[in-house]
Amino acid sequence: MPTQKILLTRRWPTEVEHYLSQRYDVTVNEHDTVLDPDALKAALRSYDAICPTVTDKLPAEVLQAGAGKVKILGNYGVGVSHIDLQACKRLGIAVTNTPDVLTDATAEIAIMLMLMAARRGGEGERQVRAHEWNGWAPTRLIGANVTGQTLGLVGFGRIGQATAQKAHHGFGMRILYHSRNRATPAVEALTGASYCHSLEELLETSDFVSVHCPGGAASRHLLDAKRLDRMKRSAFLVNTARGEVVDEAALAEALRNRVIAGAGLDVYEHEPRVLEAFMDLENVVLLPHLGSATLATRVAMGMRVAENLERFFAGLEPRDTVA
């Protein structure tokens, strides 16, 4: 009989839940609702492993409840800005994530948001559904080209590189990027990317700016009113990374005043709450955090968590340790 007790804080694909239940004493959050801090504290005191998602906020005060009991957090996702990693290190709690397997799915959403924002896809779909479309006209819903334009990437990890590759080879886009570390010449050649030494240079040059850097305190409001003002008036901003990277109030104001042409968002600073100021703006596309939402990707994410747990409980170093 399995001895390790594991909690999945949300429902996962059935295939993965079954796989884990054959190996561990698994509890699933059948209601599939976000656990509040008290529920998370109780879980941390009761389980050997917690498998959280981005919806689970795990600051130091919550994590402290699991001191001496919970051994590992097998995060279902790449980003871990919702987990206090320093507190985990101090408390001896291992943390893993799921890189690689959601790269292409998230890059696809970034490309989709670029197309929807530039070609005014959201506006057009709303017109059709509201029975407001009365036929083709030469000047109706005129948008902007994507093919051949300049794409600037803020952050150049796996997802940023995949987005660059799709945009460069699929749409003939010129690729710029800014990140803490410059990529290798081989990666730059594969993605057609050129390095910008400053974020400001990238913002001033790009027709599309796509955010791919990690979240957390270090990057909170990296794109604020001053930096949005550095963008072209014809430019579009896309965010599939973490909501806190963009100052949402500043972005709404920039969109309303046409400081930039448009935006496409898949993530928000206070999910699931979306800033009310966005709701009456036609030049922003709003998606409900769909980045990794394909069945194959979500199964692969779960199996990556399972692999990390198996290695950890076997006394081996997990493949994807982040703390």
Each residue's pLDDT expressed in tens, for the chain with a length of 323 residues: 568 999 999 999 999 999 999 999 999 999 999 999 999 999 999 999 999 999 999 999 999 999 999 999 999 999 999 999 999 999 999 999 999 999 999 999 999 999 999 999 999 999 999 999 999 999 999 999 999 999 999 999 999 999 999 999 999 999 999 999 999 999 999 999 999 999 999 999 999 999 999 999 999 999 999 999 999 999 999 999 999 999 999 999 999 999 999 999 999 999 999 999 999 999 999 999 999 999 999 999 999 999 999 999 999 999 999 99
Q: What is residue 277's DSSP assignment? A: G
286 burial level (CB within 10 Å; 0-12, 13-18, 19+): middle
User: Whole-model pTM above 0.85?
Assistant: yes
Question: Of 10, 212, 242, 304, which residue is the catalytic one?
Answer: 242
Domains of the chain, with CATH numbers?
5-101+295-313 (3.40.50.720), 103-286 (3.40.50.720)
The pLDDT, as a whole number, for residue 223 is 98
For the question of residue 31 being annotated catalytic, the response is no
Question: Of 174, 289, 311, 319, which residue is the catalytic one?
Answer: 289
For the question of residue 271 being annotated catalytic, the response is yes
Residue 58: other Cβ atoms inside 10 A: 25
- Under 8 Å between Cβ of 153 and 193: yes
Q: How far apart are CA 118 and CA 146, in angstroms?
A: 7
Strand partners, 174: 150
- The residues, ordered by sequence, that sit 6+ positions from 165 with a Cβ below 8 Å of its Cβ are 107, 190, 191, 192
Strand partners, 223: 246
The pLDDT, as a whole number, for residue 3 is 85
Helix or strand run (H / E) with residue 72: strand 72-74
Distances (CA, A) of 220 to 62, 213, 259: 22, 11, 21
SS3 assignment, position 170: helix
pLDDT averaged over every residue in the chain: 97
Q: What is residue 35's DSSP assignment? A: P
Share of the chain above pLDDT 70, in %: 99
Question: Of 123, 271, 307, 310, which residue is the catalytic one?
Answer: 271
For the question of residue 289 being annotated catalytic, the response is yes
- The tens digit of pLDDT for each residue in 47-77 reads 999 999 999 999 999 999 999 999 999 999 9
Q: What is the token pair recorded at 65? A: 């409840």
